[in-house]
Amino acid sequence: MRPEEKIKSLNDEEYNKLLYYLKRLTAKKKTYNTYRDAFLIKIMLFSGLRISEALHVKLNDIAIDPYDNEICIINIIGKGGKEQKARIVYSRIEEEVLYFKEAEELDNDDYIAKQELASYSLERVHLG
């Protein structure tokens, strides 16, 4: 049995700095990779997705909740291959989702985490 591990999380200052950095980065550098990276960080931060789940999100996995148009539902394949739904306030990822919908590099069934000119998804091994 493993001893109980304390989960490390961001404090309020780190959280705000991260969001500020992402906002500045996407405003300054409007590239696919910039929006992709901001999106991945935000969906993990705001919905609790694991990196392996976030890396396998496709554009057509994202939908507005039919009962609450302020909430976005992201269909994922979770741990153990189970289909699950993550929920996130849409306004937190709206800029990135709108960018992806207009991006020429991305089709609805492409992984958002794909490398800019590649058709395959990034994997944890690519993240160093």
Distances (CA, A) of 19 to 12, 24, 83, 124: 11, 9, 29, 22
Average pLDDT over residues 16-44: 93
Q: What's the pTM value of the predicted model, to 2 decimals?
A: 0.82
The CATH architecture that domain 13-114 belongs to is Alpha-Beta Complex (3.90)
> Hey, how many other C-beta atoms are within 10 angstroms of the C-beta on 13?
8
pLDDT tens digits along 78-108: 788 889 999 999 999 999 999 999 988 788 8
Angstrom distance (rounded) from CA 99 to CA 115: 16
**Domain residue spans in the chain?**
13-114
DSSP result, 40-109: HHHHHHHH---HHHHTT-BGGGEEEETTEEEEEEEEEE-GGG-EEEEEEEGGGTHHHHHHHHH-TT--TT
Confidence of residue 64 (pLDDT cuts 50, 70, 90): very high
Distances (CA, A) of 4 to 11, 85, 98: 21, 28, 41
